Amino acid sequence: MAHLTYTASAEFTQDKTMILNMGPQHPSTHGVLRLLLEVDGETVVRMVPDIGFLHTGIEKTCEAKFYQQVVPLTDRIDYLCPLINNLTYCLAVEKLLGLEPPPRAQWIRVMLSELTRISSHLVWLGTHALDMGAMTVFLYCFREREEILRIFENVSGQRMMTSYFRIGGLALEPPLDFFDKVKAFAKIFPERIDEYENLLTGNPIWLERTKGVAHISQEDAIAFGVTGPSLRGSGVDFDLRRDMPYSSYDKFQFKVPVRSEGDVFARYMCRVLELRESIGIVKQALEGIPEGDIKADAPKVVLPDREKMKTQMEALIYHFKIVTEGFAVPKGEVYQAVESPRGEMGYYVISDGTGKPYRVHMRSPSYATLHALEKMCVGRLLADVVAAIGSIDIVLGEIDR
Amino acid sequence: MAHNPGPNAITDFEQLQSHPALEKLLAWKRDAVLAVKFDRNELTVEIDPSYIREACGILKSTFNFLCDVTCSDWAPSEPRFHVVYHLLSHQLKERVRLKVMVPGDDPVCESVTPLWPGANFFEREIFDLFGVRFLGHPNMRRIMMPEDWEGHPLRKDYPVEGYR
């Protein structure tokens, strides 16, 4: 972290190269990332990322909480896609418990995950374009993001730290007008993507700044553990939603956009095409949503409904026991990964048979992708560093945890 | 792998040897594989600490992607640290978990950074938060905590509130 000392590399003498400090307050580092750059004129010779400014010890905190108390912490890891983090953690604990949430809960989870992906990609698109000097896109993106945040508020009561998914299902049945709101959004959104694309995709300035910039080859991307759209931008056709489906993703039809160029433009195209696929999944989820419960029938794990607590003694007892002493999870360890907007978000949870997790580890996609940033930038122009950071879509909350 | 077998875990070599990862490891060196566990649809293979880099090298041709390296602390029992590798095969769409037990008094493990440069940050994180050192790592320094921080926060004997 902060007290990093740095000396110029041996092959370049001190009077030829210069050390340049970028961040942690630099706006285009998307959070509190500090980069130490060694530059030879305008060319980057070496790059050392300095992270840890947002380290809050979430993994340690998880070990002191009951299983259900960890859910709100997961929101705060990647604050741009809270629901997908909730989902990953819940799936991991459900796998430990051997619990399967009812189909309705799974479909609502898919629908909200895709809305989260859209909102996260909108922040990425807006800020990435802003970094490169295209300010209008930012305003357009935040207009739509606002609508998604209103949907989240409608369904969970919170705009950002939603904590809506619970172990065994959902917190509450969505309100009556929820599906209409999602439907209205799904109707307008495809035209809005056209608007963004009109501004950027064919724009000569945009092409000049993105094509052939910050290239990473397929072999390097795999070796550095790059996942998600950044990996698909380098030509690897792999998406966890399709290839290792979870939470009923196998019941949805969607394409996985892949580009082979491996530059900033390829990663941009992958994400923009993903926006269209995501809204398609939301539409499918709206059409085929099954009726039924939103929580699994597991009274020792899932909190009972308010109504039952007022009429049934057992429900009240279970509620008291879950809240005061948590629920015991059978011994074992699981690794559950989902496709987050940034790539493979994985939760490794170890249970020792008690009510608190023995260890929770988050494999965050940004952490691995950030390491590959050096590969993308070294030997290229300093101005392209900003384009490269924007194109890998990192969230520092997730890197530092 | 005395630790934490789930209620329905399979730990028998015979039943599991058809799994591509285990098959490959057994064909390479039977002695390197200390234990195996198949639990909740996930395969865990415990590897002899001196062979971990070679074992990863053997698996790399099929299990091409290193997802994650992490660690867990089982103090006061010995060996104290379990270093865990999650490998993924893009082609087979399968995962395997490799595990290495590292003693508490001298926590050293071989680095896999020469095989996957992406392991660099993960191993630094383990060094920072657990104090396990990796041999052959190019830059074994703290990554999350300040350079002058004392102690390793994710160890079980480190209080959740920190030292005040």
Residue type, B6: G
Q: In angstroms, rounded to a whole number, what is the distance separating the alpha carbons of residues A270 and A229?
A: 6
pLDDT at A396: 86
- Asked if A64's CB is within 8 angstroms of B40's CB, the reply is no
- The pLDDT assigned to A168 comes to 87
Residue B164's pLDDT is what? 66
Q: What is the mean pLDDT of residues B87-107?
A: 90
Token output for B153? 């926060």
The distance of Cα A395 from the centroid of its chain, to the nearest Å, equals 8
Question: At which residue do the structure tokens 């969607």 appear?
Answer: A254
Asked if B40 and A96 come within 8 Å (Cβ–Cβ), the reply is: yes
pLDDT digits (tens, 9 = 90+) for A149-170: 999 999 988 888 888 998 988 9
Q: Report the percentage of chain A scoring pLDDT > 70.
A: 96
- Give pLDDT tens digits for A217-243: 999 999 998 998 999 999 899 999 998
Residue B4 has a pLDDT of 61
Which of B41, B43, B64, B70 should be substituted to probe chain A, the one whose Cβ sees the most A Cβ atoms within 10 Å? B70
Given this model, what pLDDT does residue A13 score?
A: 53
Q: Residue A111 in contact with residue A294, Cβ under 8 Å?
A: no
- Strands B133-135 vs B108-110: parallel, antiparallel or unpaired: parallel
Is there a contact between A334 and B40 if contact means CB atoms under 8 Å apart? yes
Quick one: what percent of chain B has pLDDT higher than 70? 95
Asked if A328 contacts A355 with a C-beta cutoff of 8 angstroms, the reply is yes
Cα separation, B143 vs B136, in Å, equals 17
Q: Across chain B, which distance is largest between two alpha carbons, in Å? A: 53
What is the percentage of chain A residues whose pLDDT exceeds 90?
34
Vertex A246: Cα angle to A235 and A331 (nearest 5): 120
Omega of the bond prior to A357 within 30 degrees of 0, cis? no
CA distance B130 to chain A (A): 11
Q: Give the pairing of strands A332-340 and A343-351.
A: antiparallel
Residues of A in contact with B95 (CB under 8 A): 335
Residues of chain A contacting B119 with CB distance shorter than 8 Å: 225
Assess whether pLDDT exceeds 60 at residue B114. Answer: yes
B30-82 pLDDT, tens digit per residue, is: 888 888 888 888 889 999 888 888 888 888 888 989 999 999 998 888 888 99
User: Helix, strand or coil for residue A239?
Assistant: coil
Residues of A in Cβ contact (< 8 Å) with B86: 335, 346, 348, 363
Residue type, A6: Y
Q: Which of A25-29, A127-131, B17-21 has the lowest mean pLDDT?
A: A25-29
Q: Which residues does chain B have within 8 Å of residue A3's beta carbon, measured at their own beta carbons?
A: 146-148
pLDDT tens readout for residues A30-78: 778 888 888 888 888 888 888 888 888 899 999 999 998 999 999 888 8
Q: Give the whole-angstrom CA distance, residue A396 versus residue A366.
A: 8
Cα separations (Å) of A235 from A152, A227, A364, B66, B86? Answer: 34, 11, 21, 18, 23
Of B56, B73, B74, give the one whose Cα is nearest residue B65. Answer: B56
Contacts A350 to B, Cβ<8 Å = 4, 72
Q: Which two tokens stand for residue A369?
A: 């992708």
Cross-chain Cβ contact B145/A55 below 8 Å: yes
Alpha carbon of A106 to those of A54, A96, B102: distances in Å? 32, 17, 40
Q: Are A265 and A207 in contact (CB under 8 A)?
A: yes
Q: What is the mean pLDDT of residues A347-364?
A: 91
Selecting from B90, B118, B144 the residue whose C-beta is nearest the C-beta of A400 gives B144
Among A5-9, A196-200, A246-250, B136-140, where is mean pLDDT lowest? A5-9
B9 touches chain A (CB under 8 A): yes
Residue B24 has pLDDT above 90, yes or no: no
Distance CA A209, CA A347 (A): 36
| Euclidean distance between CA atoms A355 and A328, whole angstroms | 4
Please tell me the predicted confidence (pLDDT) of residue A7: 52
Q: Say if CB A246 and CB A91 are below 8 A apart.
A: yes
CB contact under 8 A, A331 and B65: no
Tell me the C-alpha to C-alpha distance, in Å, between residue B157 and each of B32, B58, B82, B148, B163.
31, 36, 16, 19, 11
Question: pLDDT-derived band of residue A395, with 50, 70 and 90 as boundaries?
Answer: confident
In this predicted structure, what is the pLDDT of residue A398? 87
Q: What is the pLDDT of residues A287-311, one digit of tens each?
A: 888 888 888 888 888 888 888 888 9
Q: What is the distance in angstroms between the Cα of B131 and the nearest Cα belonging to chain A?
A: 15
Q: What is the least distance, in Å, from the CA of A253 to any CA of chain B? A: 19
Interface test with A, best of B10, B77, B92, B144 (most A CBs within 10 A): B144
CA distance A222 to A78: 23
Is A391 within 8 Å of A342 (Cβ atoms)? no
Chain centroid to CA B54: how far? 13
Residue A104's closest CA among A281, A246, A290, A288? A290
* Average pLDDT score over residue span A355-360: 91
φ/ψ (deg, to 5) at A113: -60, -40
Contact A261, A218 (CB under 8 A): no
Out of B4, B125, B142, closest to residue A350 by CB: B4
Confidence of residue A5 (pLDDT cuts 50, 70, 90): low
Please determine, for residue A3, whether its predicted confidence score (pLDDT) is greater than 50: no
Compute the mean pLDDT over every residue in chain B, rounded to the nearest whole number: 86
Q: Is the pLDDT of residue B155 over 80?
A: yes
Question: For residue A149, what are the β-bridge partners?
Answer: none
Looking at CA atoms only, how far is residue B156 from chain A in angstroms? Answer: 9
What is the structure's pLDDT at A53? 85
Question: What does the pLDDT average to over A382-393?
Answer: 88
- pLDDT of A1 reads 47
Residue of B nearest to A365 (CA): B67
- Distance in Å, alpha carbon of B92 to nearest chain A alpha carbon: 10
From B29's Cα to the closest Cα of chain A, the distance in A is 25
Mean pLDDT of A340-362: 91
**What is the least distance, in Å, from the CA of B16 to any CA of chain A?**
18
Pick among B3, B4, B90 to test the A interface (most A CBs inside 10 A): B4
pLDDT attached to residue A16: 77
Least confident residue range of B17-21, B56-60, B94-98 = B17-21
Cβ under 8 Å to A: B residues 46-105: 64-68, 70, 72-73, 84, 86, 90, 93, 95, 97
Do residues A261 and A75 touch, judged by C-beta distance below 8 A? Answer: no
